[in-house]
Structure 1
């Protein structure tokens, strides 16, 4: 899922609301804000997995057993046109089609198969190889793994297009994310979640000074805006209320009561 919003633009919005802009990162450092941005992306992806949905060309490894748990930068061509980087997948959704030996040549469609049927009809299917995949099998109990048939040979390379859910790409803390910075790093979640990210970072920032009553109230307010938005989006998608009551990945605010049912 492509994003167009730069990290430095998110941090500028946060710093401006914190009145920490002249100069920026005086009270709340860039390192702190970036670390909270990373936590916010993880929190969003935890409750809204589709926020990090991807469709990429991936180079398969030899054999039938494949994994999306850790896809190296030289084994992936992002479908959104971004630069390849290490991707940590956590749930395979579909193996769509063959993409040739270079990852950019669309080929034969790939069908979902029942592994038990493959086992019965062709018990030796794990030993067969070919230069293109025709079927894949998947067990949701092991969501990072899938098997392809025929298996992948040592050569030539076999690329396929995969739809899957991934962990947000970690934003490094070493970039130039100031208001006048030159860094062009983009956030990892979709643009529509930018207000949720801002609220998450603000909540964490105000927690830093939560011993002051006004900051504690601000932290609680932004925490509730974040959780309220996430809950509403989950309900809209699933009809199920996850009842998220406090900011994920952070202890409860000191001196602030958690809402009760």
Structure 2
């Protein structure tokens, strides 16, 4: 879905068709935040199948435009690659970091504590390539013309289209969070955040009547004051 379509839906829901209270640049900021939040919760929302070159040795880095490695498919030459646990490699082949360098990888070792890197075995000679599936950093929505004009946001979002409704709910949530001091705004913000969370399978429960604790959580998430 294009950002302009999301903004139209949001303005319909918040009853601000002219974009007076919630202008497009503001909605764009929240839409970019929503993309990041979705990918944080669901890395596969921005999955890409790419081929990456390997460096000499065992330690490999995830390119800056990606967040984490989701799956290793194969060597670019065709041989499949398996993911193994570091403890298993250390126990069965304690010298694996200094083994003979080769072009093709047989195993990949990942560590959840460091999602921006991974290891290959045997050590690579610098000529290898892997076909992998990675979670990409969502591309920022940037207006192509006058930021106050809806047509400047005819730009597609960079995450899977099944999350379009979640993005609408997130932007509506942030919009209502701007008006926490107004009657009913806090409740509406909470309900749309709940719908956003439900879309992602997040275990979040917000009281529709906005008790003080729920209000504080919504305000904190919005960067406001309860």
Same fold (TM over 0.5): yes
Check conservation: 1:99, 1:160, Cα contact below 8 A.
yes
| Cα distance between partner residues in 1 of 2:176 and 2:82 | 51
State the Cα RMSD in Å.
Answer: 3.1
TM-score of the superposed pair, with normalisation by structure 2:
0.75
Residues 134, 35 of structure 1: CA spacing in aligned structure 2 closer, same or farther, 3 A cutoff?
same
Larger fraction in helix: 2
The answer as to 2:171 corresponding to 1:171 is no
Cα offset, 1:36, TM superposition:
0.8
Residues 121, 222 of structure 1: CA spacing in aligned structure 2 closer, same or farther, 3 A cutoff?
closer
2:175 aligns to what SS in structure 1? helix
Q: How many residues align?
A: 212
TM-score of the superposed pair, with normalisation by structure 1:
0.66
- Give the 5 Å matches for 1:1-12: 5-12=1-8
Check conservation: 2:103, 2:125, Cα contact below 8 A.
yes
| Cα distance between partner residues in 2 of 1:42 and 1:165 | 11
Check conservation: 2:81, 2:107, Cα contact below 8 A.
yes
The answer as to 2:181 corresponding to 1:187 is no
Of residues 206, 219, 223, the one that matches 2:193 is 223
The answer as to 2:13 corresponding to 1:17 is yes
Of residues 33, 36, 41, the one that matches 2:30 is 36
Of residues 21, 44, 49, the one that matches 1:50 is 44
The answer as to 2:180 corresponding to 1:210 is yes
Per-residue deviation, residues 160-188 of structure 1 (Å, max 9, x unmatched): 1123445x41414444575433743x223
- Give the 5 Å matches for 1:1-261: 5-22=1-18, 25-68=19-62, 71-72=63-64, 86-87=65-66, 89-90=67-68, 92-100=69-77, 107-115=78-86, 118-119=89-90, 120-121=92-93, 123=95, 125-126=97-98, 128-154=100-126, 156=127, 158-166=128-136, 168-176=137-145, 178-181=149-152, 183-184=154-155, 186-230=156-200, 233-234=201-202, 242-245=203-206, 246-247=217-218, 249-251=221-223, 254=226
Per-residue deviation, residues 136-167 of structure 1 (Å, max 9, x unmatched): 2223343333211232334x4x321123445x
| Cα distance between partner residues in 2 of 1:188 and 1:26 | 27
Per-residue deviation, residues 19-72 of structure 1 (Å, max 9, x unmatched): 4334xx43322221111112222332333343334432222233210122xx15
Check conservation: 1:216, 1:253, Cα contact below 8 A.
no
| Cα distance between partner residues in 1 of 2:119 and 2:36 | 28
Gaps of 5+ in 1: 73-85, 101-106, 235-241, 255-261
Check conservation: 1:126, 1:149, Cα contact below 8 A.
no
| Cα distance between partner residues in 1 of 2:138 and 2:22 | 23
